[in-house]
Structure 1
Amino acid sequence: MSKSFGAMSVAQLSVLIQSGAADPVDVAETVFESIANYADKAVFTTLLEGRAMEEARASSKRLREGRSLGLLDGIPIAWKDLFDIEGLPTTAGSVVLAATAPASCDAAIVGLLRRAGMVAIGRTNMSEFAFSGLGINPHYGTPVNPRGTDLPRIPGGSSSGAGVAVAAGLVPVAMGTDTGGSVRIPAAFNGIVGYKATSGRHVMDGVYPLAKSLDSLGPLCRSVRDAVWIDAAMRGLTAPDVIERPLRGLELLVPENVVFDAAEPGVVAAFEAALERFQSAGASVSRTIIPAFNEILDLMTRYGPLVTAEAFALHQERLAGPDAERMDHRVVMRTRLGSRTTAPDYIAILEARRRLIGGVDRLVGDRILAFPTVAHVAPPIAPLEENDELFFATNNRTLRNTALGNFLDWCGASIPCGTGESGMPVGLLLSATASRDEALLGAALAAEAVVRGDFV
């Protein structure tokens, strides 16, 4: 049993720990053993074995004394290399930050989950400065998608190591960030669950930013229930407050424009099969064009993407100095495009965003949106590393569906719905308008078994 601790869901492992059938110290030790034995060394950038064992021993003592902190006490968690960890520099997947001053304290969200009893295992790899949906990193290596059986495939980004760590059974949950899809994309590509919260739902202190107007947090895990439990602790709650919604009467809205453009046949087939299962379970499905989707793409063509403008403002000084030579040249090229967005352009984007959010909120109402998380399955790594033009085209295509939700400030959860080309996982994205996270998660709780079908 111990060898599979990291491959369990949070809920499964919690039952063992709370009942005394598993000890947090043994759990942590076997997790580190699994990581040491895992062939791909690009999943983690830093392991926190000393800290983790101290936290695990404290958890074990509490449980023996009948002082459990709750459902998450003793559960291992991995942290994306954007979260401050006391005593370590926060490198954000880049070598240029490796010599910066160590963090004086944990990021606020790290502290909240530590207070819930969770055990910090290490930091996971990522796209440099979180600025890619593919997960390729030339500095620390690219984690290989464990679902691929034919050739090495991308993990998705930017939370690449987080997605692989969970999908490979190394940890039950890993924390990511999502600015354009960085939680939901690796979840979809690796066949796991990824929840992106409404921006502002979780405290961001001590999290290295990409674009503050769009940044949000969320866990990558094995089940929606796991995401609900983690989300509660991220908000300082001692117990989850999300109520499962019945599928009968649930209204799903499927956009007909943009999100299916150039979609792989296998992705569409897996998505449509899941919709049929929804309808058989009593949910209603309607389809409509969402004009805002095309307007968002037009805005990006006219003014440049909002994320790129804000990333350039963050990194402008770095890009003008010697550090640019030490960065991934693709990150440098993409970030420098933000210099083309003038101050009037930036204001025009923000004004259009407010208008579009209001219009889409009225159109969608209380319905839950559903469409493929990504319109294709995880492609091979090698061609993307060798061809910059292919890299940028694939990155844009990978981010397209999820980035729409970030721009409109939606919350979203990607759930595996089957397989597509080469037997690779396909994700179905459920989304809701801003601050309707409880409604989204309640629907996702009820829908998960239906969405998954026979996907394991």
Structure 2
Amino acid sequence: MTKPYGAMSIAELAALIQTGAVDPLEVTQGVLADIKAHPDKAIFVTLTEERAVAEAEASSKRLKEGRSLGLLDGIPIAWKDLFDLEGMPTTAGSKVLKAAHPAAKDAAVVDLLKQAGMVAIGRTNMSEFAFSGIGINPHYGTPHNPRSTDEPRIPGGSSSGAAVSVAAGLVPVAMGTDTGGSIRIPAGLNGIVGYKATRGRYLMDGVYPLATSLDSLGPLCRSVLDAVWIDAAMRGSSVAPVTRQPREALEVVVPTNGVFDGAEPGVVAAFEAAIERLQKQGCRISRTAFPAFDELPKLMAQYGPLVTAEAFALHRQKLAGPEAADIDPRVVARTRLGEKTSLADYIAILEARARMTAETEALIGDRFVAMPSVAHVAPPIAPLKADDDRFFATNGKTLRNTGFGNFLDWCGVSIPCGTGDAGMPVGFLLSGKANADGPLLQAAMAWEEVIRG
């Protein structure tokens, strides 16, 4: 073996398991051992070792009897601390949920991937209540971006541990959630692939919410093909409905407003280099202003963010009681802003959202949208911990590009496209309108190598 099992792609590891070159139990034991030996103890909140071994043994038995459940049988997966795992409380990165009742059953998508033979390794760390794009957690520690060579840098949030567990080579895939960028941001900052599905593409039973009108799910992994396989299994299919086709030139529109404001030169250079590679391969690139990108900040200034209003409605009882003292003060401060959004304001936001989404879909047509996943590379952790103003300003900028897609109900894939300052990864975000997941994944799979360069 030339590299750890957790550092392999799903496709690479599946080939070894399905041919009998390695046993699922050996894979699981190796992955667990590597996680325990890893110096960053903030990546995982807990390991589900007993469950993982039992699932790996069952997979091993099936394979020896010629009863493989498919390409995902025996593949380890880590779950963000928002997904119910039977017999465990779901803590959502928070101390106040430690005493919650253990889940009576797995979340629906956890069960679907278990039926596909996947092995649940453990729960990954996250921003508390999924309410930050930075990934800092004062309760369980902050996972360090493994791509940093100079000083500890942020992992991105809120699926911080999920992204780092893959980028550090500990697991081939981890599951995240995305309300304002929580899959695509850490994928971009850690140099891996992150796929955010259209909201509603998967069953949400047993997934702890943040804002139900924005919440979506998706995997963090090493390739678009890996994401395609996971997507199929999460929809209950044993065969991926997304197939490779002869590569056709993409039609891509790049927004000229909003997404490049204050962007680091290194990020812009890496993104534009990827655009140039696509153009050289015959892809048609156009650039235009998106009116919604100018209107959304004004809408938020007038009524407050949609996510904040819904997060306050979810957590208002905690904020009114003694539990508030045990919640990250920055999460408390941001959530309490939602109290200012009246019911009339909330309805006005939803009405504007429907109109802006329709207008933007008409503007896009059948094209895909491309922009940098994040306007900057992962910044150092220490200054953000020390300065509230700096934290909130950086958080807003980190969430900006991806947040447009959540508000407009897009699906999106972040693919590594180069490096920026300090040699840190830059993500190329390719997005499609609602329910264009199949065409998006097909296009991303076909053009991934060109985007990566």
Matched residues, number: 453
Measured at CA, do residues 235 and 196 of structure 1 come closer, stay the same or move farther in structure 2, by a change above 3 Å? same
Aligned ranges for residues 92-171 of structure 1 at < 5 Å? 92-171=92-171
What is the alpha-carbon distance in structure 1 between the residues aligned to residue 434 and residue 327 of structure 2? 34
Aligned to 1:298: 298
TM-score (norm 2): 0.99
**What is the match of residue 64 of structure 2?**
64
1:270 aligned counterpart, secondary structure: helix
Post-superposition offset of 1:243: 2.4
CA deviation after TM superposition for structure 1 residue 156, in Å: 0.2
CA contact (8 A) 1:247 1:282 kept: no
Gap runs ≥5 in structure 2: none
Q: How does 1:386-401 map to 2 (within 5 A)?
A: 386-401=386-401
Render the CA deviation track for 1:234-278: whole Å, top value 9, x for unaligned.
000001011235544310110000000000000000000000110
**Where do residues 111-260 of structure 1 align in structure 2 (5 Å cutoff)?**
111-260=111-260
Q: Deviations over 1:5-56 (max 9, x none)?
A: 0000000000000000010000000001110110000000010010000000
1:432 positional shift: 0.2
What's 2:73 paired with? 73
Amino acid at match of 2:408: L
Which residue in 1 is equivalent to 2:86? 86
Could you tell me which amino acid in structure 1 is paired with residue 17 of structure 2? I
Query: Which AA in structure 2 matches 1:43?
Result: I
Corresponding residue of 1:313: 313
Q: Which residue in the other structure is 1:49 paired with?
A: 49
Determine if contact 1:3/1:30 at 8 Å carries over to the other structure: no
Aligned AA (1:400): R
Is 1:383 matched with 2:387? no
Q: C-alpha distance in 2, partners of 1:430/1:402? A: 10
Aligned twin of 2:30: 30
> Any conservation in 2 of the 1:78–1:171 contact (CA below 8 Å)?
yes
Q: By how many angstroms is 1:95 displaced?
A: 0.2
Corresponding residue number in structure 2 for 1:418: 418
- TM-superposed CA distance for 1:280, in Å, is 1.2
Look up the equivalent residue of 1:165 and give its one-letter code.
S
1:8 paired residue number: 8
Q: Partners of 1:343 and 1:201 in 2: how far apart?
A: 28
Contact 1:189 1:426 in 2 (8 A): yes
- Paired residue for 1:343? 343
Give the conservation status (yes or no) of the 8 Å contact 1:252–1:285. yes
> Using the alignment, how far apart are the partners of 2:402 and 2:88 within structure 1?
31
CA contact (8 A) 1:414 1:430 kept: yes
SS at match of 1:241: coil
> What is the letter of the counterpart of residue 290 of structure 1?
F
Secondary structure of 1:369 counterpart: strand
- Cα RMSD over matched residues? 0.7
Matches of 1:7 and 1:302, distance apart in 2: 46
Q: Secondary structure at the match of 2:82?
A: coil
Q: Distance in 1 between matches of 2:79 and 2:339?
A: 31
Provide the rounded CA distance (Å) in 1 between the counterparts of 2:210 and 2:245.
34
Measured in 1, the distance between the counterparts of 2:308 and 2:247 equals 39
Cα distance in 2 between the residues matched to 1:384 and 1:113? 37
CA distance in 1, matches of 2:281, 2:167: 28
Give runs of ≥4 in structure 1 deviating > 6 Å: none
CA contact (8 A) 1:370 1:429 kept: yes
What's the secondary structure of 2:220's corresponding residue?
strand
Q: CA offset at residue 3 of structure 1?
A: 5.0
Please list the CA deviations of residues 112-153 of structure 1 after superposition, one character each: whole Å capped at 9, or x if unmatched: 000000000000000000000000000000000000000000
- C-alpha spacing 1:179/1:245, structure 2 compared with 1 (3 Å): farther
Letter in 2 for 1:366: D
Contact 1:247/1:283 (8 A) holds in 2: no
Kindly tell me: are residues 3 and 271 of structure 1, through their superposed partners in 2, closer, same or farther at Cα, counting changes over 3 Å? closer
Amino acid at match of 2:417: C
The equivalent of 1:280 in structure 2 is 280
Letter in 2 for 1:250: L
Residue segments in structure 1 that go unaligned for 5+ positions in a row:
none
Tell me if structure 2 keeps the 8 A contact 1:2–1:27.
no
Give the letter for the 2:422 counterpart: S
Taking structure 1 as the reference length, the TM-score comes to 0.99
Partners in 2 of 1:430 and 1:374 — Cα distance?
Answer: 12
Shift, 1:4, TM fit = 1.3
| Equivalent residues of 2:377, 2:424 under 8 A apart | yes
**Secondary structure in structure 1 of the residue aligned to 2:4:** helix
Q: Distance in 2 between matches of 1:344 and 1:248?
A: 47
The residue type equivalent to 1:434 in the other structure is A
Matched-pair contact (CA < 8 Å) for 1:245–1:443: no
Q: Is the 8 A contact 2:249 2:281 kept in 1?
A: no
Is the alpha carbon distance of 1:290 and 1:275 closer, same or farther for their aligned partners in structure 2, counting shifts above 3 Å?
A: same
